Amino acid sequence: MIELIPAIDIIDGKCVRLSQGDYESKKVYNENPVEVAKEMEAHGIRRLHVVDLDGAASHHVVNYRTLNRIASETSLIIDFGGGVKSDEDLKIAFENGAQMVTGGSIAVKNPELFCRWLDIYGSEKIILGADVKDRRIAVNGWKDESACELFPFLKEYIEKGVRKVICTDISCDGMLQGPSLKLYQEMLEQYPELYLIASGGVSCMNDIHALESAGVPAVIFGKALYEGRITLKEIEKNMICHSS
């Protein structure tokens, strides 16, 4: 069964969503992300993707208090990303309840540091963030495009021990028009051993079933849930059907 990972994106301590990474498109869905996380857990969700959007756009982790509250008031397994750009940021994330940390910009700008984290914490705790725009890696909360192309970037880090990758096609993110199925199929054809976490574009349960049929191990989704296109009851039912 594909692993279902709802996302909670945070700006100013609030649960928000963007479209295509555009901060001007911000829509607040809940003033209290902890309430959102608790409701998800009540419907059988076990894993959560928390993004510090303030941190992603700056140079350090910002919303660690919200992370701490989600972690201390639920039993969810949390992977955390956004603004993790130094040893201190990584320490803050783990100390405030993240079990896994996603590094994207840092893997482009300071590969030595990212690889050291990989060596120290291992591939179960350090996830590579590969957010792409026209198949190039985007950094700094998607505001900047790097010169790194996706497939050479993946190859380099897989050879260095990366096993888990979150890949977001920015053109799809928040648009509710379906995920980049072809891109993910290409990635898995080239790297079948990769634990690929698809992100961006999911609009309904059929999109999740399509990803599962394509062999994608895990999926992150957010806006479809907040807009009511996927319900927590649907997710719960889907998980029960798979486990029975």
Tens-digit pLDDT profile for residues 182-191: 999 999 999 9
Output the pTM of the full model. 0.93
The pLDDT of residue 139: 75
CA–CA distance, 115 with 49 (Å, rounded to integer): 22
Mean pLDDT in order along the chain per 10 residues (244 residues): 96 91 89 97 97 90 97 98 95 98 92 97 97 83 69 96 94 79 96 96 95 97 94 89 66
Cα 223 to Cα 27: distance, rounded to the nearest angstrom:
10
- Catalytic residue IDs: 9, 131
Residue closest to 46 by CA, chosen among 17, 68, 74? 74
- In whole angstroms, give the CA distance from residue 95 to residue 64: 9
What percent of the chain is helix, strand and coil (3-state, nearest 5)? 40, 30, 30
Collapsing DSSP to helix, strand or coil, 148 comes out as: strand
pLDDT of amino acid 227: 93
pLDDT of residue 140: 60
CA distances from 145 to 90, 99, 173 (A): 23, 28, 16
Task: Output DSSP code: residue 62.
Answer: -
Q: How far apart (Å, rounded) are the C-alpha atoms in residues 168 and 113?
A: 22
SS3 state at 38 = helix
Q: Enumerate domains of the chain plus CATH numbers.
A: 3-243 (3.20.20.70)
pLDDT of residue 175: 67
Tokens 């130094």 correspond to what residue?
86
Other C-beta atoms closer than 10 Å to the C-beta of 46 total 14
Q: Which of 55, 59, 50 is nearest to 97 (CA)?
A: 50
Cα separation, 104 vs 81, in Å, equals 8
